[in-house]
Structure 1
Amino acid sequence: MKKHITLLLLILLLPCFSCAEPSETDIIDEDENKTPVILNVPFSKGVNLSNWFLADREDDIYKQKYTKKDFEDIKSLGIDVIRLPIRFYKIAGNAPDYLLNQSFFDKLDYALDLAEQTGINIILDNHSYFGSNPFPAQYGEEQLTKIWQQVALHCKERSDLVYYELYNEPDGNYMRNNWGEMQGRLIDAIRKIDTRHTIIVGGYDANSPGTLKDLPVYDDDNLIYTFHFYEPFLFTHQASDWTLLENVSDIPFPYQSDKMPECPPELIGTGEWGDRLFIDYPTKGTVAAVKNSIDQAVSFSKSKNVPVFCGEFGVHMYGVDNDQRCFWYKTVYDYFEANDIPWTMWDYHNSFGLFKEGGSYRFEYDLNVPLLEALNLNIPQSYISGEKPSIVFYDDNIAHGMKDASWGGGEINFEDTTSPSEGEKSIFWKVGSEWSAIVFEIWPTINIEEQFTAGQALNFDIKCSSQVNMQIRFVEYQDDSQPWRNTFLLTDDMVANDGSWTSISIPLDSFEETGAWDDIYYEPQDLFNWKYINKLEFAIEGNEDMIDAEIGIDNVTIKKSE
């Protein structure tokens, strides 16, 4: 069964904080000799989540790195699609079957469940073979075919929110000569198993918009054609340490001769990806040149009556003025908007992301607001009102940017479903030692000084089968400092010991510095700093009476006192 696909017309960029909902429009082919075709892409604005499944080993994919709360946060920005890069070739088994383990599919199902629960489209992007790992002509097509057939078989009953992107940025001479036909065979292999889900296809030369025209006409009307956009490269990739431009910075966009730095001496003679970028910048570093390059995708879409989609575009945040970075994004966004091109920017986190340079990538306070404005994304209310946001540590799952670093043995389950205080899960802890702790480790560190100054409190629900004597403490981390601890002692009179839940609220100013442990103990010196919190610990120290106690912990959040 095939379906027609329709392009969404995005609402014109508004100079305000809110983002209007896109509306649908029919696009009629300009060639009057052709039968008008209705094209439909049911998403408009998105991000890549590159630091989740883009791993060289399956064991390195941390299943709960992103949670439902993360997906809800992303959606609240006005985003309706996530592109999920997956390094399939690294996590598949060996020839001849190239099997993907069930444990991998369990992790993938978790991501797909989050997307479907929150109503976000999700693209499974085969992010394989690039850079120092060129496409293996001897077995590459067989490997891709068997991988995609497994994925299609596993996902064919999923909702239409799921998409298959066959190959990220095919490159090199072999792909230049063979990719178009190979892509057609991969489409056919998937369609033998899954005739319903939309497939995303693209050209060679790293998904260059100019190579779309060289693709054959595929006999499938359930396709979206993708391209990537990073032009002018000298601007978008300045200060990137994986290119020749590591020591290049302050490139202006658009080109301004009086603000243009000199080409570094070490780049002289390096050619296309070095000094040539400087030589060509007066013509390539213009708004007109950006639009002309995107026009290649626009022309292809109109001539073939097929939808196009920009799967990656962006500017490296280091070495560039943020105002100029945002101007480039607004220029590209406006032109995508004018030509009905949906997109997923590279990236959400990391150096091409939506967050401020030098921050901790925290949604609560690190979003780059001018960049959100440039992309006509919604700005969270807390950024507008100035109200200090809540900081979640646990709400059915450990929050993004945190991990379990518990110690001391015993039985610990962060996904206990037997009797949560709220929601679906809570933490179950059967204490195994008089020296043990439930630990939320945050990396990079989190700054909660503003929450402390605003008089917020640490809130959590707890239950225990015995009397309680527990240290609740924040631990800081700085390169040139000891791991100072701020502690509150939770005692038996504060918690019911009959196994029922008790809600606890501890004002942050009730915590007191209790020294530091760094191989040896350091006495308190009033040096604890709320700006660099590395851990939150629920610790039992030297209390034999709590061995074998069964403890539940849920809804751990710093928020305004109620």
Structure 2
Amino acid sequence: MPFKWLHTLLLFSLFAMNAQAAKIDFWDEQKRGTNFFNSQPTEQNYKAASDAGIEWVRVTFSKWNSQEKDFLAGNLDNYQQLVQEDLDTLKQALGWARKYGLKVVIAPLGLPGGRWTQNNGGKPDPRIWQDKKWWDQSAQYWQDIARALKGFDNIVAYNLINEPIPEMSTGMGEHGDLARYDIWYKKYQGTSHDLPAFYNQVIKAIRTVDTETPIMVDSGWYAQPTAFVYWPKLEDNKVLYAFHMYEPFNYTNRSNSLRIKSGKEAYEYPGTVPYAGLPIHWDKEQLEAYLSPMFDWARENVISTNRLVASEYGVYRQNPGAADFLEDLTELFNTRQLHWAFYSFREDEWDGYDYELGSKPLNWKYWQAVEAGESPERPYNDRNPIWQVLSDAIEAPRG
């Protein structure tokens, strides 16, 4: 009887270990997802994403309502402990994702000493990169999150911080030649600006309570793909290296569409768009060239493609050539077998990247209803050219 009991216990333990280990296995094959940046979590969005064939969602909670200053953290100026009411709200959303078969990446937009710009009066908050005391609070914060959520088998990564900016206010330009990164890192390695060192510290704290959930890390300068080039490979063996792709930004952002109203010609894709002070012709070949330093870095550090993630990419939907841009970029990701998550899915505060609406603006009746305090339904059309690009990419064969 004791032997039989021990054998059963051993089998149960091995099963539990394998179930946990499967979290990193999820990323062995390319995965296609989206971003949830809503101000309010709703079950309907999880169902709609699942119905669209989306496999994983990058969920941020930093815009959700809380009784405290900062959702879940309470106060990012002085973190003490998780806010239980907020944690319950987050767990409810994770339950919805599980119900509809969606995997989740948790992605706070801010950490102690580094509040998200939009939650900080429109000003960047780089304190976390100026004093390592914020590293300690951030490590504690993430350790508490991991302890509270490790029971959710559908969480397939913790994305430690969104679009970090350790280079800000150090004299290094956001765009330019790659050599500037090596020069910069030689000066700031080991200081509070050392992003890989910060990640290693936070990961170690998480691993004391959760040894299996993969860790997703954004590169520097707002998660630019080229900002990986100075990095050493991180110490943990379950790391996903994530980047955001909105270049050329002069084309992809909303202000491009507004150029027409000011009497200027809008940039188009494909076409010539300035980048780093130079006129560059952007097309699929140029997109590949722009990403190539990241691929070279990964190869040199023996990081496989299935550990690279385009965790945000997109274009303001009314910009000329938006469908072509998304098609070229997503095809590139699929050809390379990179994981990806377009930005965004049915964001409730802004429609600029809500691709199911196509390229036309919402009419005045919609906004009139919003101003009246109503919640009108958006006129989604899943056959418009922009959404069709993403829908086809989601369903495209792998390999």
**TM (normalized to structure 1)?**
0.50
Change (3 A) 1:364 1:317: closer
Of 332, 336, 351, the match for 2:333: 336
Instruction: Give 2:303's aligned residue.
Output: 305
Deviations 1:70-124 (A, max 9, x none): 3222112121111112339933234654322111011101110011111111111
Q: Using the alignment, how far apart are the partners of 1:107 and 1:246 within structure 2?
A: 42
For structure 1, the residue ranges without an aligned partner over 5 or more in a row are 9-39, 53-61, 261-275, 381-562
Q: SS of the residue aligned with 2:70?
A: helix
Correspondence for 1:185: 201
CA distance in structure 2 between the partners assigned to 1:103 and 1:142 by the alignment: 24
1:338-375 CA-to-partner distances (Å, cap 9, x unmatched) read: 10111111111331122324346957734462123222
Identify the structure with bigger relative contact order (alpha carbons < 8 Å, sequence gap 6+).
Answer: 2
Code of the residue aligned with 1:110 in structure 2: it is Q
**Local SS of the residue matching 2:194:** helix
Amino acid aligned to 2:37: S
> Aligned in 2, Cα 1:182/1:244: closer, same or farther, shift over 3 Å?
farther
Specify the alignment match of 1:72 in structure 2.
Answer: 47
> Do the aligned partners of residues 145 and 133 (structure 1) sit closer, same or farther apart at CA in structure 2, a change above 3 Å counting?
same
Residues of 2 paired with 1:6 and 1:154: CA distance?
19
**What letter is aligned with 1:90?**
D
Separation (CA, whole Å) in 1 of partners of 2:57 and 2:394: 18
8 Å CA contact 2:32, 2:54 repeated in 1: yes
RMSD between superposed Cα atoms in Å: 3.3
**Against the structure 1 CA distance between its residues 379 and 362, is the aligned structure 2 distance closer, same or farther, given a 3 Å change threshold?**
farther
CA displacement at 1:220 relative to structure 2: 1.7
1:135 pairs, out of 126, 149, 157, with: 126
2:286 corresponding residue in structure 1: 289
SS in 2 for 1:46: strand
- Residue pairs, 1:105-254, within 5 angstroms: 105-128=87-110, 129-131=115-117, 132-136=123-127, 137-138=130-131, 139-173=133-167, 177-239=193-255, 250-254=266-270
Q: Deviations over 1:258-316 (max 9, x none)?
A: xx9xxxxxxxxxxxxxxx649623x2523322111222333333332231000111101
Q: State the shift of 1:154 in Å.
A: 0.5
Matching residue's letter, 1:48: N
Deviation at 1:201, TM superposition (A): 1.1
**8 Å Cα contact 2:270-2:282 kept in structure 1:** yes
Between 244-253 and 40-49, report the one with greater CA deviation: 244-253
**DSSP 3-state at the match of 1:225:** strand
Is 1:315 aligned to residue 315 of structure 2? yes
Match of 1:327 among 316, 324, 329: 324
SS in 2 for 1:234: helix
**Corresponding residue for residue 45 of structure 1:** 32
Q: Aligned pair 1:351/2:352, yes or no? A: yes
Cα distance per residue 1:444-500 (max 9 Å; x no partner): xxxxxxxxxxxxxxxxxxxxxxxxxxxxxxxxxxxxxxxxxxxxxxxxxxxxxxxxx
Task: Sort the Cα spacing of 1:163 and 1:222 in 2 relative to 1 into closer, same or farther, 3 A.
Answer: same
Counterpart residue identity of residue 313, structure 1: Y
Task: Kindly provide the amino acid, as one letter, of the partner of residue 94 in structure 2.
Answer: L
Q: Distance in 2 between matches of 1:341 and 1:363?
A: 31
Deviations 1:125-182 (A, max 9, x none): 1212454132213343123212211110101111044420001111143697311101
SS at match of 2:125: coil
Following superposition, the deviation at residue 379 of structure 1 comes to: 10
Unaligned stretches of 5+ residues in structure 2: 1-16, 64-68, 118-122, 171-184, 186-192, 367-375
The answer to whether the 8 A contact 1:228-1:312 is kept is yes
1:166 partner amino acid? L
Within-5 A mapping of 1:153-552: 153-173=147-167, 177-239=193-255, 250-255=266-271, 277=275, 280-281=278-279, 283-303=280-300, 304-306=302-304, 307-318=307-318, 320-321=319-320, 324-349=321-346, 350-356=351-357, 357-359=360-362, 362=377, 365-367=380-382, 369-377=384-392
CA drift of 1:43 comes to: 5.6
Q: Is the 1:5–1:221 contact (alpha carbons within 8 Å) kept by the matching residues of 2?
A: no
Query: Percent same amino acid at aligned positions?
Result: 18
Bigger Cα Rg: 1
Cα separation, 1, equivalents of 2:159 and 2:105: 7
Paired residues of 1:284 and 1:290 also in contact (CA < 8 A): no
